[in-house]
Amino acid sequence: MFTADFEQYRNIQVNTASGVNLVIMVLDGVLKHLNLAQAAIKSGQMENASKSITKVHQLLAELRGSLNFEAGDIATKLYRLYEFCGKRMADAQFRGDPAMLDAVKDIITTLRQAWVECSKKGFKDAPGGSTGFQVMVG
């Protein structure tokens, strides 16, 4: 019962969010799964780490796929950041080194803070992006 209610609430939240707030939600999901991956690597639970890293890759793919390259150089820079994060996560997983995820968490945290500032300033659409997210953000 509670799970169904939460899913309904989450769907409403996603369907009514502005483009900027959707980006923030996706970045929150990235941070959540990065933390889960890092904890799983530290405890030797590589299957769980792999699942969390796969989820982060999916979320980053959504962010990359939502970029509007006609909006200018910001989209290209974001694309490169997301690509770097993906490569760094793959290296961390391959080496079993949870500390390698710290750089990714720092980048995502900084990006999230910037999007929060955009939201506070009243931006509704994500500059350089669109609102066409397909993956659940949680």
3-state secondary structure of 17: coil
Range of the domain at 43: 17-120
Residue whose pair of structure tokens reads 């997983």 in the numeric block: 93
pLDDT for residue 121 = 81
Residue 65 lies in a domain: yes
What CATH number does residue 26 fall under? 1.20.120.340
pLDDT digits (tens, 9 = 90+) for 118-131: 888 876 665 445 44
Residue 127 lies in a domain: no
Residue 135 lies in a domain: no
Average model confidence (pLDDT) for the chain? 82
Residue 9 lies in a domain: no
pLDDT digits (tens, 9 = 90+) for 69-114: 887 898 899 999 999 999 999 999 999 999 999 999 999 999 999 9
Structural domain count, the chain? 1
Residue 67 lies in a domain: yes
pLDDT for residue 68 = 84
* Mean pLDDT confidence for 45-69: 93
pLDDT for residue 119 = 83
3-state secondary structure of 112: helix
Maximum Cα–Cα distance for the chain, whole Å?
Answer: 46
pTM > 0.85? no
Residue 129's DSSP bridge partners are 67
